[in-house]
Chains A and B, each alone.
Chain A
Amino acid sequence: MQKALDVGLPIVAIVFLVVGGVLGLTVAPADKDMGDVYRIMYVHVPAAWAALLAVTVTFVASLVYLLKNNWHADALGEASAEVGVFFGALLIVLGSIWARPTWGVWWDWDPRLTTAAILLFAFAGYLALRRFVDDPERRATWAAVAAIVAYVDVPILWFSVRWWRTLHQIQNTGESTHSVMTKSLLWNALAFALLYVWFVRLRYRVALARQAEELAEPPETEPAHTPAP
């Protein structure tokens, strides 16, 4: 089963990505306002969903770690956060590329963009925190707390376009989007979800291996520092 997933998942993910690319670039029609520029939606929106999925997994894994004292959950939280930061950065770069020809600016501090930036930096901070703390027990606990608190940004990000006036448009709906466009978007979303699972499995294994390493060799006792005279 594991072996089959190791080989099969990357293949399926790439097939979905290729099909999604063909659908988005050639089958789906151009938009009445944005022409071909809108096609960035087919990677921007899936990147957003993948990033939200990733940080949600980290949030749940952090809770499981704290409640059940489960070290696998700690490894999964770390793995998913790292993949989440990757998709979050992709989200913002792609959004910016779309914004320039559509809005006329690369960036503006509207509530949606601001909360997206906060999410990216919060989880980058989570990863940094993990590298600052040497003691595994403390590292896992502090990181889990950081992830749970940082996750507050997710509902705010999601509803920002409805709670506040924003430059960013609200979420597409089936009615506001042409059916072929919606189908192409869902294909690409599935492709990105598969990419996410592929990446997380790889990163999770690395995290588990590092945990095993830490358990095997007790932390080196540092040479005693003698204060300079």
Chain B
Amino acid sequence: MTPAGKKRLTAVAALAVAGAGLVYLATGNIEENLVYYWTPTDLLAKADTVKNATIRLGGMVQTGSKQWNAETLSLRFVMGETPEAGGKTITVVSTGAPPQMFREGIGCIVEGKFDGQIFHADRLMVKHSNEYKPPADVADSHQLYKTLAPETPATHKSGKEDAVRAAPAGTETTR
């Protein structure tokens, strides 16, 4: 075979390997085998099998469920499939200040252990959606991120009163 023909064969072989890899991934049930986090429904269905195992749980922080204790630095909230009540839910407890973006109604992923009743999280991550929209009710956009800090009472009106009320009095921190 000529050197050029050999190279052409190499190209076909390389493409075949690449294509086979992709087909395997696309058809090999990898969506089910590779799961980055479980939803509350998944976890409750398998709760018995994961005692003492570190797992990731993802869902929405339920509206009205956030309890932040500034003295013990403990955070407690209910994780559900949707921000509103309804469907399976799991109570999550974590220690330490949550990320500034953390608030009720937002997507959230926690890593830790489930004892059958409560999920004890060692790591808490806020999941942002692909929505990028300007706020409807804030005059000075540069203050916006600061006002979203969960421990700081929001300075702008509408929609945020619930979040402020959910935080116990005197929880302002100097972050």
Name A residues whose Cβ lies closer than 8 Å to a Cβ of B.
29-38, 41, 63, 65-67, 69, 101-105, 108, 110-111, 137, 141, 144-145, 148-149, 151-152, 155-156, 163-167, 169-173, 176-178, 181
Interface segment, one of B46-54, B62-70, B120-128, B165-173:
B120-128
> What's the least CB distance linking A162 to chain B, in Å?
10
Complex Cα distance, B142 from A37, in Å, reads 10
| Contacting pair B144 A36 (CB below 8 A) | yes
Known: A30-B138, A103-B127, A149-B18. 13 other contacts (CB 8 A): A32-B144, A33-B128, A35-B143, A69-B4, A141-B7, A144-B11, A148-B14, A164-B35, A164-B36, A176-B131, A176-B132, A177-B130, A177-B133
Which of A149, A167, A172 makes the CB contact (< 8 A) with B36?
A167
A104 nearest CB neighbor, chain B only? B99
| Contacting pair B11 A33 (CB below 8 A) | no
Complex Cα distance, B13 from A145, in Å, reads 9
| Contacting pair B14 A35 (CB below 8 A) | no
- The size of the chain B interface, using a CB distance under 8 A, is 50
Count of A-B contacts with CB under 8 A?
147
Contacts A104-B102, A111-B36 known; A156 to B22 CB distance under 8 Å? Answer: yes
Interface of B is mostly: mixed
| Contacting pair B99 A165 (CB below 8 A) | no
> What's the least CB distance linking A25 to chain B, in Å?
11
Q: Would you call B101 an interface residue if the criterion is a C-beta within 8 Å of the partner chain's C-beta atoms?
A: yes
Residues of B contacting A165 in the complex (Cβ-Cβ under 8 angstroms): 35-37, 58
Contacts A33-B128, A169-B130 known; A102 to B101 CB distance under 8 Å? Answer: yes
Which of A30, A36, A151, A177 makes the CB contact (< 8 A) with B18?
A151
